[in-house]
């Protein structure tokens, strides 16, 4: 363990936390982070950017009667951290003098489960042990492969990112926990054009793993998928508009589950009345075929972790069980407000940010039907193989999602590709109407943004059938 990593063991943690609580706080914690990251970007057939970065610092938080007081620094000496605690103490005092704070009637409960096996999060090839030249080679391999595929391919962008994070957390409840997190992401974006038609294909892979990612996903294979998607859409018809049956492939990416229901089940939004699922615990919010869980303990997924950014052990949380809303995703503060256990979903982008309730790996559990049976059941509809971005109103659940790769379904068979489709609907209503759930399961990865913070997540789903949803077409370059 080097000097930076040993910070919380050398300073007087108890002294700092005591100072932070001396004005009457209910809880205080220190969050230390050291993050080494590498980012490589290849664009216009050349390496445009290579960044190696080391960032480290400490965040200090005090919670008092439902309010959070937070400050951070990258100066590691004890004197500076005591000063940080005094700044928080001063802010708390001014807040007490200037306004009436909300008083909590219930105390937070923390339930520490059995420790997660380290093997679930072990990596085989530590990115720190891989030379920068070898990482650049992976980017070049993808770029060179795509550019030789087809003359219609005009632009290629390849991005490699890895991070190795060490975290230490100490709090006023006497908890001290530390550990490493490693993550890697590799993406390829391809732009193809023909006869004034321009289409884009994109593919991304990654997770809480090391350089062994490329053993399962060679750069050429990732690039090939992105290129195929762009080239396929060049010959695609415009998507029909109107109401029709939609089958979402397990490969679609999980965007709908993440956006249409996931954010609405984060406790801070639910408590503020900013979620369509506020005050609906125990009510039927989805089809009885639907069970939704959030599970950071799944090995190798992008949203996986052994403990959250408040030191609470990770665990699987059932959010919706056979259509019934069972609970929300909690951090310590929101759990304190509701008088329940934290679910281990207190996450933050870095030491510069306070923790808030966030998803990890959120998924709809598989059902019993074969995906082929679901497709064969549709006389006429749309098969969505890959979802794109979208927007959702968490207050009422209305959403609009792009379809990056879609096909017509005719007489139970997947037919011609279509482009420009969007799915327009309402999350709670769609979840109630899903009438077929496949026995397969696929995951997509991403970085979820909320309150100015981005955290790594995965979203998963089986093949799903929606009996009727509005398909909106949109004009594209042609």
Confidence of residue 255 (pLDDT cuts 50, 70, 90): confident
Average pLDDT, rounded, for the chain: 91
CA end-to-end span of the chain: 58
- For the segment 306-333, what is each residue's pLDDT rounded down to a tens digit? 999 999 999 999 999 999 999 999 999 9
Q: Would the pLDDT of 1 be above 50?
A: no
Residues 228 and 269 in one domain: no
129 and 192 co-located in one domain: yes
Burial of 324 (0-12, 13-18, 19+ CB in 10 A): middle
Which of 198, 215, 233 delimits the end of a domain? 233
pLDDT per position as a tens digit, 211-254: 999 999 999 999 999 999 999 999 999 999 999 999 999 999 88
Give 454's Cβ-side CA count (13 Å radius): 4
Place of tokens 């720190």: 128
Provide the Cα torsion 138, 142, 147, 148; round to 10°. Answer: 90
In which band, very low, low, confident or very high, does the pLDDT at 101 lie, cut at 50, 70 and 90?
very low
In a domain, 112, yes or no: no
Q: Please report whether residue 109 resides in a domain.
A: no
Q: What is the pLDDT of residues 26-68, one digit of tens each?
A: 999 999 999 999 999 999 999 999 999 999 999 999 999 889 9
CATH code where residue 203 lies: 3.30.2290.10
321 assigned to some structural domain = yes
Contacts of 55 (CB under 8 A, 6+ apart): 33, 34, 35, 37, 74, 350
- Asked if residue 386 belongs to a domain, the reply is yes
| 216 and 294 part of one domain | no
Q: Which of 199, 154, 243 is nearest to 404 (CA)?
A: 199
Question: Both 360 and 435 in a single domain?
Answer: yes
Determine the 3-state secondary structure of 80 from DSSP: helix
Q: What is the number of alpha carbons within 13 Å of residue 90 lying toward its C-beta?
A: 7
Looking at the domain assignment, is residue 104 inside a domain?
A: no
My answer on whether 249 and 389 are in the same domain is yes
Q: Are residues 298 and 425 in the same domain?
A: yes
pLDDT computed for residue 476 by the predictor: 41
Q: Within this chain, do residues 221 and 331 fall inside the same structural domain, yes or no?
A: no
89 belongs to a structural domain: no
Mean pLDDT (whole number) for 171-199:
95
The residue written with tokens 């695609």 in the block is 236
pLDDT at 119 over 60: no
Shared-domain flag, residues 226 and 320: no
Can you give the residue range of the structural domain that contains 264? Answer: 242-473
Within a domain: 79:
no
Domains: count for the chain: 2
pLDDT of 111 higher than 50: no
pLDDT tens digits, one per residue of 429-443: 999 999 999 999 999
Q: H or E segment at 416?
A: strand 413-419
Whether residue 250 sits in one domain with residue 220 = no
Q: pLDDT band for 112, please (50, 70, 90 cuts).
A: very low
Distance CA 155, CA 142 (A): 13
Q: Evaluate if pTM is beyond 0.85.
A: yes
> Which residue in this structure is represented by tokens 């004009």?
475
pLDDT at position 106 is 41
190 and 263 together in one domain: no
Say whether both 208 and 257 belong to one domain. no
| Residue 78 confidence class, pLDDT cut points 50, 70, 90 | confident
Over residues 8-26, the pLDDT tens digits come to: 666 789 899 999 999 888 9
Q: Is the same domain home to 255 and 281?
A: yes
- 399: in domain: yes
- Residue 383: its pLDDT value, please? 98
């Amino acid at each position: 363990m080097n000097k930076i990593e040993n910070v919380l063991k050398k300073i007087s943690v108890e002294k700092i936390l005591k100072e932070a609580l001396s004005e009457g706080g209910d809880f205080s914690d220190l969050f230390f982070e050291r993050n080494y990251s590498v980012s490589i970007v290849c664009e216009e057939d050349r390496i445009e950017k290579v960044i190696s970065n080391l960032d480290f610092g400490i965040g200090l938080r005090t919670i008092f009667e439902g309010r959070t007081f937070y400050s951070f620094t990258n100066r590691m000496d004890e004197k500076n951290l005591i000063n940080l605690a005094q700044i928080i103490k001063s802010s708390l005092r001014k807040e007490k003098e200037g306004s009436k704070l909300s008083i909590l009637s219930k105390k937070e409960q923390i339930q520490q489960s059995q420790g997660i096996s380290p093997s679930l999060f072990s990596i085989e090839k530590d990115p720190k042990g891989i030379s920068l030249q070898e990482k650049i080679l992976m980017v070049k391999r993808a770029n060179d492969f795509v550019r030789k595929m087809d003359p219609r391919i005009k632009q290629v962008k390849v991005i490699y990112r890895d991070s190795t994070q060490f975290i230490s957390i100490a709090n006023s409840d006497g908890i001290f926990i530390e550990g490493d997190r490693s993550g890697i992401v590799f993406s390829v974006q391809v732009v193809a054009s023909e006869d004034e038609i321009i289409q884009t294909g994109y593919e991304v892979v990654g997770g809480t793993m090391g350089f062994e990612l490329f053993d399962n996903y060679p750069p050429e294979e990732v690039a090939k998928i992105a290129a195929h998607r762009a080239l396929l859409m060049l010959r695609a018809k415009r998507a029909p508009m109107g109401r029709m049956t939609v089958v979402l492939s397990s490969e679609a990416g999980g965007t709908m589950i993440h956006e249409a229901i996931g954010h609405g089940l984060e406790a801070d939004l639910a408590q503020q009345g900013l979620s369509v699922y506020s005050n609906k615990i125990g009510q039927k919010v989805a089809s009885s075929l639907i069970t939704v869980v959030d599970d950071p303990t799944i090995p190798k997924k992008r949203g996986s972790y052994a403990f959250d950014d408040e030191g609470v052990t990770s665990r699987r949380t059932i959010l919706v069980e056979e259509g019934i809303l069972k609970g929300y995703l909690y951090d310590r503060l929101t759990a304190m407000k509701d008088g329940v256990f934290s679910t281990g979903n207190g996450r933050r982008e870095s030491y510069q940010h306070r923790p808030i309730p966030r998803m990890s790996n959120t998924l709809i559990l598989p059902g019993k039907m074969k995906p082929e049976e679901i497709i064969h059941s549709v006389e006429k509809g749309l098969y969505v193989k890959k979802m794109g971005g979208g927007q959702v109103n968490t207050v009422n659940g209305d959403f609009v999602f792009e379809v990056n790769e879609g096909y017509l379904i005719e007489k139970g068979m997947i037919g011609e590709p279509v482009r420009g489709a969007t799915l327009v609907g309402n999350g709670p209503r769609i979840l109630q109407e899903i009438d077929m759930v496949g026995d397969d399961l696929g995951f997509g990865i991403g970085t979820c943004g909320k309150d100015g913070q981005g955290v790594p997540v995965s979203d998963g789903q089986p093949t799903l059938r929606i009996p009727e949803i509005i398909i909106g077409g949109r004009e594209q370059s042609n």
